[in-house]
Amino acid sequence: MTAKTFDAIVIGIGGMGSAAACELARRGRRVLALEQFALGHDRGSSHGHTRIIRKAYYEHPDYVPLVCRAFERWYDLEQRQGLHLLTESPCLSIGRADSPMIAGVRASAAQHNLPVESLSAAELRHRYPAFRFGDEYMGVLERSAGFLYVDVCVQAHACEAVRLGATIQDNEPVVSWTANEREVIVQTTADRYTAARLVITAGPWASQLLASHGAFLRVMRQVAQWIGTSDDALFRRDVFPLYIVDTPQGHFYGFPVLNANGAKVAQHYGAPELTAPSEIERAIKPEDEETARAFLREHLPLIDGPCRRASVCIYTLTPDRHFLIDLHPEHGNVALAAGFSGHGFKFAPVIGEILADLADNGRTDLPIGMFGLKRFVA
């Protein structure tokens, strides 16, 4: 086997890795991107037809500048690849008046001057009659939101990376990597490669590649389902919003009806934390459907048809549910991004920029202070 040399190697070509490979190639770097499965696979986190993108970010106001930048970069990628990736659609956050989610949306909107509209329970029922929420609930509507066609987005970043000169090799698992101050060496099942820089974006498999530095990462099985409605016209994109709901039974989210499969609905979190992706049950279980239907029966009773599609994906979790983006603590030429905790995909193009900055310069001007590794590793 002959060693092959690049400027940068990217391990893992899902949402973040495809974006990092694309950005590094755009900057003229010789890039090798490695993926253990077939490109566009459904084994990790970057699949399932759609993802919500929103600016009034309840998780923390510091995300807002990054997601605003992500919007710009998604439109840029659309233009370069000639594909439709992002569709504007209002996003409605629903919760009780004292809900931390409602407070978080309002805090981010206030700090960053984002236009949002508060709706009482009565206003919510009048404007969106498909919902059933009691007077203890309220809504906050954000119009500067939308959804991404996630599978097409990964494909677009990968195709743009190749167009710009990157080499993408899928179905080639990484066996090991080592680094010193001059270079990194990556051994796969097929060959051995060297580069000046390494970027690790391995999703649920990041903990394996990071060893003790990723020991705190956990994985969680999540199931999205597409369920038929009593009247699809009530759930068209022009009359029904994206939604995120905070209920005593947990957080749920959903989409308008976008195709013949019906309305997409899923619970956010709520499943056991596991230590490795090999523990994830890939088969759909009866209780998966029942969890979604219990929410729908109470709050969206017109979504009551057959389940036409279901998809298992994996969240990779940090303890505080915020991202991990940093340089490796032992190797300044290794950048890493993991633990996106079920809300990262929308940021992919700006994460690609950040990782390219870290790989090229060891630093970035984009705001990532809250995502450092030191908060978990003494």
Where in the sequence numbering do the catalytic residues fall? 47, 50-51, 264, 268, 313, 346
Contacts of 234 (CB under 8 A, 6+ apart): 129, 130, 240, 302
CA nearest 201: which of 48, 39, 351?
A: 351
Pairwise CA distance, residues 373 & 378, whole Å: 9
Backbone dihedral angles phi then psi of residue 263, each to the nearest 5 degrees: -95, 130
Pairwise CA distance, residues 187 & 32, whole Å: 13
In three-state secondary structure terms, 110 is: helix
3-state helix, strand, coil in the chain (%, to 5): 30, 30, 35
- CA 203 and chain centroid, separation: 10
Task: Write out the DSSP string of 229-272.
Answer: -S-GGGG-TTTS-EEEEEETTEEEEEEEE-STT-EEEEEES-S-
Letter string b/e over residues 306-336, b meaning 16 or more CB atoms within 10 A of that residue's CB: ebebbbbbbbbbbeeebbbbbbbeebebbbb
In three-state secondary structure terms, 1 is: coil
- Tokens for 339, please give them: 């633990």
Give me the helix-helix angle, 15-26 and 348-361, nearest 10°.
50
- CA 281 and chain centroid, separation: 20
CA nearest 93: which of 111, 108, 105?
A: 105
Q: Across-strand partners of 199? A: 10, 335
